[in-house]
Amino acid sequence: MKLVNNTNQKKDIKKISDQEAENAFRTILAWIGENPSREGLLETPKRVVKAFKEYFKGYKEDPNIILDKTFGDVEGYDDMVVQKNISVQSHCEHHMAPIIGKAHVAYIPRDRVVGLSKLARVVEVFSKRLQTQERLTMQIANTLMKSLDAKGVAVTIDSTHQCMTMRGIKKEQASTVTNYYLGQFKEDLSYQNRYLRFISTQKE
């Protein structure tokens, strides 16, 4: 699967002002049959623009910068580092409906490790963009593998897509699981199996 380089695409996109975005949301309110001028909706376009800035803040963040600082004082630690149950809130690129779930991330350091919070922040950066779950999983894994020069990376995402739970087929209990393995996790099934056992173990 070929990954799209969002950075190159941005060069051709016209800068849209907050006011233009608010006007667009007023048009949508009228389109669905509402009156954008009624009291309860007067500030709605401004609130939606503010919310969208939060939902899609990942477009303005660089995950490679997040992973720039690493630590070498780990006394030779060379086994996997696993971080489970990282919350994921994203939006699908087909209907702009929420994707809600959890990510599990693991990497095998070569010489250096990264602060634990940075793993969750990388998940956050890519989640705060319009996504498909498959691409989101791969982007996280490829970025960790390259930026950390890791021996291996594994990423799993388990989520529900409201584009199919609230509309369309309306299967409320359906969840989607994606996995992506690189390096030793892909080449050595013993690492992959250990990782899968770790992320399936629940706290008592």
Choosing from 92, 131, 184, 192, which is the catalytic residue? Answer: 92
Choosing from 22, 161, 162, 192, which is the catalytic residue? Answer: 161
Q: How far apart are CA 99 and CA 102, in angstroms?
A: 10
For the chain, the C-alpha Rg in angstroms (whole number) is 20
Identity of the amino acid at 90: S
Q: What is the DSSP string of 124-141?
A: HHHHSSEE-HHHHHHHHH
Instruction: Answer yes or no: 20 catalytic.
Output: no
Instruction: Answer yes or no: 22 catalytic.
Output: no
Instruction: Answer yes or no: 163 catalytic.
Output: yes
Q: How far apart are CA 143 and CA 168, in angstroms?
A: 33
Choosing from 19, 94, 134, 187, which is the catalytic residue? Answer: 94
Tokens in use for 108?
A: 């095998």
Instruction: Answer yes or no: 104 catalytic.
Output: no
Q: How far apart are CA 172 and CA 167, in angstroms?
A: 10
Instruction: Answer yes or no: 83 catalytic.
Output: no
Identity of the amino acid at 55: Y
Choosing from 91, 104, 133, 162, which is the catalytic residue? Answer: 133
Instruction: Answer yes or no: 133 catalytic.
Output: yes
Active-site residues, by number, are 92-95, 133, 161, 163
